[in-house]
């Protein structure tokens, strides 16, 4: 007779706590969004409100419908998502590779850490003039700016994660005969994963911020371009619409990383 397999209690309890915590966050988050929305509706319906400066919800929704029907929103959103995803993937991949090496191997730390610390305080947008001079106004330049922004904020978290690997894990693996490379691959990198995911989340915010700035300066399409177009022609409803869309896209992508991070934390707690 087969016995039903059950999860250990140590794995079930963190999962239950996680569900309760997520439910509480959802309720509070919904309440805060609803409060801001109701306050905005109230302010925009005041007699003294100027719709040209603070458009009501119906005007913003009307701008959304108009841009959807014309196809400009789909084109702009597709272009911006492509730039964000490409810059994010390239930047964070390089950050994980270099950050893991710096955090684990002293030689790599001596080679790369001074360089990273020297350029890290420089705002990514400061590179825009020199990138335009070197590579012109094109897709490569915009993706490169996003890549730099993602790399700089992510690599710091990766290095911190590698340096905070519990020594007991390393000693246990070494006692079992694991080589330095095996400890790096099977112990250090998995232990640093929560730090890496946090770096991803921070890099994602940097990607969206840098994207809009780069598209405001040197783009012929994208959400930043529509934002600039709205400013140029005083289309406040379009400007507000783009702001909401950018916030929604960044929020949804961040939620995805939060779910991944939460699952990894549950797995880690269950193992302990």
- Record the pTM: 0.81
pLDDT of 2 = 46
Which helix (H) or strand (E) segment holds residue 231: the answer is helix 223-232
Q: What is the spatial distance between Cα 221 and Cα 225, in angstroms, rounded to a whole number? A: 5
pLDDT of 154 = 94
pLDDT of 39 = 86
What residue ranges do the domains of the chain occupy? Answer: 56-271
Q: What is the spatial distance between Cα 151 and Cα 194, in angstroms, rounded to a whole number? A: 17
pLDDT of 152 = 93
pLDDT of 177 = 77
The DSSP letter of residue 4 is P
pLDDT of 22 = 65
Reported for 77-82, long-range contacts at CB under 8 A and 24+ positions apart, including other chains, are 77/223, 77/245, 77/249, 79/219, 79/221, 79/222, 80/211, 80/215, 80/222, 80/223, 80/224, 81/249
Q: The domain 56-271 is classified under which CATH number: 3.30.450.40, 3.60.15.10, 3.40.50.1820, 1.10.3720.10?
A: 1.10.3720.10
pLDDT of 1 = 44
Per-residue tens of pLDDT for the chain, all 272 residues = 444 445 455 544 565 665 667 677 777 777 887 888 888 888 888 888 888 888 888 999 999 999 999 989 999 999 999 999 999 999 999 999 999 999 888 888 888 888 988 888 899 888 888 988 998 888 898 899 999 999 999 999 999 998 888 888 888 888 887 777 788 888 888 888 888 988 999 999 999 989 888 887 667 888 988 998 888 888 899 999 999 999 999 888 888 888 877 776 655 544 44
pLDDT of 200 = 92
């Amino acid at each position: 007779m087969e016995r039903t397999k059950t999860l250990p209690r140590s794995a079930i309890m963190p999962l239950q706590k996680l569900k309760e915590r997520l439910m509480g966050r959802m309720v509070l988050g919904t309440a805060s969004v609803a409060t801001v929305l109701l306050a905005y509706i109230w302010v925009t319906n005041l007699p003294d409100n100027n719709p040209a400066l603070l458009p009501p919800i119906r005007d913003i929704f009307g701008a959304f419908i108009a841009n959807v029907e014309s196809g400009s929103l789909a084109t702009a959103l597709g272009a911006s998502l492509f730039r964000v995803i490409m810059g994010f993937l390239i930047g964070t991949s390089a950050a994980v590779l270099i950050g893991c090496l710096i955090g684990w191997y002293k030689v790599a730390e001596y080679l790369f850490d001074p360089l990273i610390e020297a350029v890290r305080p420089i705002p990514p947008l400061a590179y825009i003039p020199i990138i335009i001079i070197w590579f012109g106004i094109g897709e490569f330049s915009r993706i490169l700016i996003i890549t730099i922004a993602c790399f700089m904020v992510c690599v710091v978290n990766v290095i911190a994660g590698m340096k905070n690997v519990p020594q007991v894990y390393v000693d246990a693996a070494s006692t079992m005969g694991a080589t330095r490379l095996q400890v790096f691959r099977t112990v250090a990198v998995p232990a640093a994963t929560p730090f890496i995911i946090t770096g991803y989340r921070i890099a994602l915010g940097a990607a969206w911020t840098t994207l809009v700035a780069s598209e405001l300066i040197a783009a012929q399409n994208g959400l930043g371009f529509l934002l600039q177009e709205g400013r140029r022609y005083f289309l406040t409803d379009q400007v507000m619409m783009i702001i909401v869309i950018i916030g929604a896209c960044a929020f949804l992508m961040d939620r995805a990383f939060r779910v991944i991070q939460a699952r990894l934390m549950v797995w880690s707690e269950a193992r302990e």
